[in-house]
Amino acid sequence: MILQQAEAADASSVVGKFLVEYVGLSPAFADPIGYAAQGVVAFVLLYLVGKTVVLPLASRAMDRRGLDGNAKKPLQRIAFIAVLFVALAVSFGAAGRGSILTSLATIAAAATLAIGFALQVVLQNFVAGVFIFAERPFRIGDWIKWSDGEGVVEDISLRVTRVRSFDNELLTVPNSQLADNVLTNPVDADKLRVKFVFGIGYDDDIERATDIILEEATAHDDIMDNPAPSVRLTELGGSSVGLQSRIWIAEPSRADFVTIRGEYVTAVKRRFDEEGIDIPYPHRTLTGGIEFADGPVAADASGGTAAAED
């Protein structure tokens, strides 16, 4: 018994001491088995804790921030990788392989520096994607406009955002372009103002044209009464007087915007035609004259013409 206790004292791991003292294994065999068992148990316990506690808590935190399913997927994947990394790190330590972790940390630091230089653009897009998820300037289904295009958002990932253009093309846009430049989200609010300039002739009645524009706005079912439509004289052009109409539409989408504006402008044009209000187009007047030259040049031209007739 005393010998077994002495051998157990030689074993450095907790499980190794147990195997030496109660199973009778030699410390040479008990220690490696003990460390391996400790590492496996530590990994399994931390993995189960992470999967049953940490990941659900992270998911609930994302739900409280109002993230949709597509936005949650990459963040959940990152949380899962973090749980695996912590479980592996602790299990290596429990298995008595702390020196391996130190070596891996040194290698990882050097690799991170090299990868950082090689993947600057990718990392830039990744960081931009994190900010997009955090700040939520747009959501899936939103109509967005930026410097190089516009369309409806179909998917958001950590590196790129996929946008369906109105020509039915799928645009894969790096997140850095959307995060670093001015981005317009016309459908973020519950209503959208639409402006359109109607040009009328200088001889037409401005007040009558204004009344027609407002009447057609009030008559359209999808144009809001509050805020009320308005008309302002904004331009005195070379051939027309510009009356800018400002209307509001509720719960806007790209399809609503195009359809309502088209129907409204068509109705105003029809009323202008009925009321005899002109929508002018630019006119150009050419002035001047044609002068015929006298002298040898004219004589040579006449001679050339006569020779051609012969």
Can you list the alpha helix ranges (DSSP code H) found in the chain? Answer: 2-10, 14-18, 27-49, 55-64, 69-94, 98-118, 120-135, 175-180, 206-219, 254-275, 296-309
List of residues 6+ apart from 90 with CB closer than 8 A: 42, 43, 46
**In the chain, which residues fall in CATH 2.30.30.60?**
129-180
169: left (phi over 0), alpha (psi -120 to 50) or beta: beta
Q: Residue 284 has what pLDDT?
A: 64
What is the assigned CATH class of domain 129-180? mainly beta
Neighbour-count burial of 85, counting CB atoms closer than 10 A to its CB (0-12 exposed, 13-18 middle, 19+ buried): exposed
Amino acid at 209: A
Q: Residue 2 has what pLDDT?
A: 40
Q: What is the DSSP letter of 228?
A: P
**In the chain, which residues fall in CATH 3.30.70.100?**
195-275
Q: Residue 100 has what pLDDT?
A: 57
Q: Are 66 and 136 in contact (CB under 8 A)?
A: yes
pTM of the model: 0.53
- Least Cα distance to 39 among 126, 122, 98 occurs for 98
pLDDT along the chain (310 residues), means of 10: 42 54 56 70 85 85 71 74 80 66 61 63 80 83 86 86 88 88 83 90 91 93 90 88 92 81 93 88 66 58 49
| Domain 195-275: CATH architecture, name and number where available | 2-Layer Sandwich (3.30)
